Amino acid sequence: MASAHYTIRPGRASDATELARLHASIQLQGATGGKPHPGIAAWVEGLLTGHPTVAPEDFLVAEETATGRPVASLVGLRQNWSLAGLRLPVAQIELVGTAPEHRGNRLTERLFTALHEQYAADGVPLQIIEGIPYFYRRLGYDYALANDGAAVVPAAALPATEEKTTSPNGLTVRPATVDDAEALAAIDQRVANSTALTCPRDALQWRHEIAGRSSADLARRVVAVLAHGTDIRGYLVHSARLSATGELLVFAAACNQPADWPQAAGPMQAHLTRLGRQYQLSAEQPFTGLRPILTPDHPLIRLSPPGVPRRPRGWYVRTSDPIDLLARLQPVLRSRWHAADLRWPEPTMVIDLYGRAARLDFTDGELKAVTATRGTTSPTTDPNTHAAIPPSALLQLALGHRTFPEVLNNWPDCLPRDPLTEHFLTAAFPQVPVQIWPTN
């Protein structure tokens, strides 16, 4: 069918029923045996009718011109992440789907093109997606962000738990209420100012997570708080039921202060274990273990009983403009060079991305500006170029997914001019811990 048969348009609140029906009949069909998925339908309806950060026009719809009906769509969930305290606008793409009878018409490709144009215009530098292996590479995405990979702790390896809910150090874990929203937002703000990559929520978003979703919503999670008396010291976010394989999933865990972790991990693990056993009774399904959707370096994991290792997964990430990303990172680069006591001895540093180049301007050794310029034909031999870095490697460096030495080991075409440049770029791009529970 020719592309003239379809129109790409933004979503509308009035699409809720149709889009819920469309996605319920095409997403996660393996889990329902081909029947409509009620969790998907409830999620789509929730996103289109009363989500604190999603507007109907965040959906893009391919409409069949003849019938006016939506036959394909996706949604970009806009959110502000924090990289070492720097606000980074991100869009997570979800609910990509085309009705079976309309597949093969490049509708997904057209929807992504329209979405990417919109983000370029709106200044959203990063898009992320989790999904069909390889498919999104064709649309400009690359694995550039760690996701998941912490070991599963089998139920048998979890400590026996008594019914008492207060630990010897006075910390308790209890279900969150909407009254905890401000305290949870304050914890997110504090954690956002650490060195990690995080997705902080404000109080409105926390209220939505705690009490705003329908019980069928596939994205509904349970929030629990770590409390010391009336003082909220941290939180835990886990699944509302056991998975098909009997696992309790953990999506996020945070402490107000890093120093609280050694006391917090025990009560958090005990709470999750108790819940897993309760769910086993109510669901009449065996509780097989805890499955954290966290990276292995997360503090809760480092303080947990050892489990069965799993291969890490990743987020596909895309940026339309790596130089813009580098320019946004200026405050982070400045503070990293400052912390390493490094001052660049020349007025500029030119990083060529094999096409375009980033010009970093310095005054008295301090970074002052990052601007895009034309690259040279042969950056690796050009005397005014300090480093040549492929754009895909720069994306990985910018997000702290790979350090500069790792990039040097894996990208033979990443070429710093001299040891001093290498030293500066190594200090500029350390590994960044990922503590992302995306907004959806």
Could you say whether residue 72 binds ligand COA (CB under 6 A)? Answer: yes
Spatial CB neighbours of 354, under 8 Å, sequence gap ≥ 6: 375, 379, 388, 390, 391, 413
Residue closer to ligand COA (CB basis): 115 or 360: 115
Q: Is 103 in the site for ligand COA (CB under 6 A)?
A: yes
**What's the rounded Cα separation, in Å, for the pair 273 and 255?**
19
Min dist CB 145 to ligand COA, Å, is 16
27 binds ligand COA (CB under 6 A): yes
Residue 70 contacts ligand COA per CB under 6 A = no
24 binds ligand COA (CB under 6 A): no
Question: Is residue 96 close enough to count as binding ligand COA by CB under 6 A?
Answer: yes
Q: Which stretch binds ligand COA (CB under 6 A): 127-135, 173-181, 327-335, 423-431?
A: 127-135
312 binds ligand COA (CB under 6 A): no
Helix ranges restricted to H, 308-410:
322-328, 330-339, 391-398, 404-410
CB of 62 to ligand COA, least distance (A): 8
Instruction: Output DSSP code: residue 437.
Output: -
Q: Pick the closer one to ligand COA by CB: 39 or 416.
A: 39
Q: Shortest gap between Cβ of 25 and ligand COA (angstroms)?
A: 10
What's the rounded Cα separation, in Å, for the pair 1 and 274?
55
Q: How far apart are CA 349 and CA 366, in angstroms?
A: 11
Minimum CB distance to ligand COA smaller for 121 or for 132:
132
Minimum CB separation of residue 102 from ligand COA in Å reads: 7
Q: Which is nearer to ligand COA, 131 or 365 (CB)?
A: 131
Rounded to whole angstroms, the Cα distance separating 371 from 146 reads: 29
CA dist 70 and 93 (Å) reads: 18
Part in contact with ligand COA (CB under 6 A); list of ranges 90-98, 236-244, 312-320, 346-354: 90-98
Taking CB under 6 A as the binding criterion, the range among 43-51, 128-136, 169-177, 239-247 that sits at the site for ligand COA is 128-136
Strand pairing report for 348-352 and 387-388: parallel
Judged by CB under 6 A, which stretch of 129-137, 180-188, 291-299, 368-376 contacts ligand COA?
Answer: 129-137
Classify residue 42 by burial, with Cβ atoms within 10 Å: 0-12, 13-18, 19+: buried
Rank residues 107 and 329 by Cβ distance to ligand COA and give the closer one. 107
Tell me: does residue 97 bind ligand COA (CB under 6 A): yes
3 is a site residue for ligand COA (CB under 6 A): no
The span from the CA of 247 to the CA of 184, in Å, is: 26
Site string for ligand COA, 207-226 (x = CB under 6 A): --------------------
Question: Cβ(360)–Cβ(369) under 8 Å?
Answer: yes
Convert 374-396 to b/e letters by CB count within 10 Å (16 or more is b).
ebbeebeebeebbbbbbbbbbbb
Q: Which of 105, 205, 256, 295 binds ligand COA (CB under 6 A)?
A: 105
CB 75 to ligand COA: min, Å: 12
Residue in 19, 26, 60, 389 binding ligand COA, rule: CB under 6 A? 26
71 neighbors 64 (Cβ within 8 angstroms): yes
7 binding ligand COA? (CB under 6 A): no
Cα distances (Å, whole numbers) of residue 387 to 80, 169, 349, 381, 384: 30, 52, 8, 10, 9
Check binding of 182 to ligand COA (CB under 6 A): no
108 binds ligand COA (CB under 6 A): yes
Q: Could you write out the DSSP letters of every residue in 249-271?
A: EEEEEEESSGGGHHHHHHHHHHH
Asked if residue 135 binds ligand COA (CB under 6 A), the reply is yes
User: DSSP of 155-224, one letter per residue?
Assistant: GGGSPP--S--B-TTSEEEEE--GGGHHHHHHHHHHHHTSSSEE----HHHHHIIIIIS-TT-TT-EEEE
Total number of residues that touch ligand COA (CB under 6 A)? 16
List of residues contacting ligand COA (CB under 6 A): 26-27, 72, 96-98, 103-109, 131-132, 135
